Amino acid sequence: MLDILLIATIAIIIGANDASNVFGSAVGSKMLKFKIAIIFFIIFIILGAVINAENPSKVYGNLILDYPDFKKIFLIIIPVVIVTIISLKLKIPSSISQSVIFSLVAFSIVEKLNVNYELFLELIYFWLATPLIAFILSIFFCWLINFIFKVLKLNVFQIDYQIRLSLIFFGCLAAFALGAHLTAAIVGIYSPFLSLELEFINLNLTIDDKKLYFLTSLLIGLGAFYFSQKIVRTIGSQISNIKPVPALAILLTQILILFSFSSNHTIGFLNTYLPFQIFAMPLSASHITFASIIGIASFNKFREVKPEHTIKILLSWVLIPISVFCCSFLLTSIYNF
């Protein structure tokens, strides 16, 4: 029961925040009605989760060689929920996947479980590399989109039409790619237990991994449906204030990076060309989005970037995992004590 509540809480929080990153620009500029955007978001996030979430979810099983007892998983999730809610209050985007993995490692240290530190280091390398890749790719995509419009000599109304269509189409693709990562980040930790026996209001539910991904992504969708509009209005999406062409470039960057680390076909294809091997892992969509925004801002020599806010977010990339690690370490120690 506690596990279900924790999963639901975290999924709803994520849904409320991440829907605006995908369709924020299209809805903000009134190119797409909010309810239609959310329906697209729910459909594609579920599809992405059911089709691809199992790939990045495998990281958890590979990271902890002797996997923890199912009944103690809540000790890993609670610190993540606490830190995510605090970061949300401070209006700082946080990465659920990173938080879960740092919490899992702290838990494993206390529980004296066998951790694959080589894989853990690789994950950290990729988490550091993906924002850098996003920074470069967003600049490239922004330049490419402008170049295409210039070559085609389209007028502003034609460009507006093409951008509207692209924001909807790529928004759906981004939701699909995001579905795998967000779901893997939230419930990937349960994936080694293929048949979960969950107790819910005196009912015994047997949930396999596909059902788990489906239900979690549905909760993410519901979080988006009920709360994201309010969040976009009160907090404001980082993307919704960005002009349509950069917004499209950011979406393309998200899609390319998220697909590259979730779809087995894409990973296989990239590994034949890359000098190093990549593998499926849950990535932080918020870090990719933020790095893309900074990439786009570099076009205007960072004039539109608020230094205080940027420093706060960059610091949070270090402080949030450390906080989760410490919180999880303490909680598990107290529980064992």
Partner 1 sequence: MLKSHEKELMTSINLFLDNILKINNLFKILLQKYFDNNFEEVQTVTDQISNLESECDALRRDVERRIYSETLIPEIRGDVLGMLENLDKIPGQIQGNAHSFNTEKPKVDSELDQNFLKLCDYASECISLLIEGSRSFFVDKKITIKKCLEVAKVESKADKVSTELKKTIFSNSKNGLATKVHLKYFVEIMDEVANLSEDVADRLIISSSKN
Residues that bind partner 1 (CB under 8 A): 29-31, 153-158, 160-161, 164, 243-244
Q: If DSSP codes are grouped into helix, strand and coil, which group holds residue 274?
A: coil
Residue 299 CB, nearest distance to partner 1 (Å)? 13
Task: For the beta carbon of residue 253, count every other beta carbon within 10 angstroms.
Answer: 28
Compute the distance between CA of residue 185 and CA of residue 253 in angstroms, rounded to an integer.
Answer: 20
Q: Which is nearer to partner 1, 29 or 237 (CB)?
A: 29
Residue 296 CB, nearest distance to partner 1 (Å)? 14
Are 225 and 118 contacting, i.e. CB atoms less than 8 angstroms apart?
A: no
3-state helix, strand, coil in the chain (%, to 5): 75, 5, 20
Q: Which is nearer to partner 1, 155 or 195 (CB)?
A: 155
Compute the distance between CA of residue 319 and CA of residue 317 in angstroms, rounded to an integer.
Answer: 6
Q: Which is nearer to partner 1, 99 or 138 (CB)?
A: 138
Q: If DSSP codes are grouped into helix, strand and coil, which group holds residue 105?
A: helix
Residue 157 CB, nearest distance to partner 1 (Å)? 4
Largest CA-CA distance found in the chain, in angstroms, rounded: 70
Q: Which is nearer to partner 1, 146 or 333 (CB)?
A: 146
Residue 244 CB, nearest distance to partner 1 (Å)? 7
**Cβ within 8 Å of residue 35, ≥6 positions away:** none
Q: Which is nearer to partner 1, 155 or 206 (CB)?
A: 155
Residue 233 CB, nearest distance to partner 1 (Å)? 17
**Cα–Cα distance list, 189 to 1, 97, 203, 216, 330 (Å):** 16, 10, 23, 12, 20
Q: Which is nearer to partner 1, 149 or 335 (CB)?
A: 149
What is the token pair recorded at 201?
Answer: 């209001």
Residue 158 CB, nearest distance to partner 1 (Å)? 6
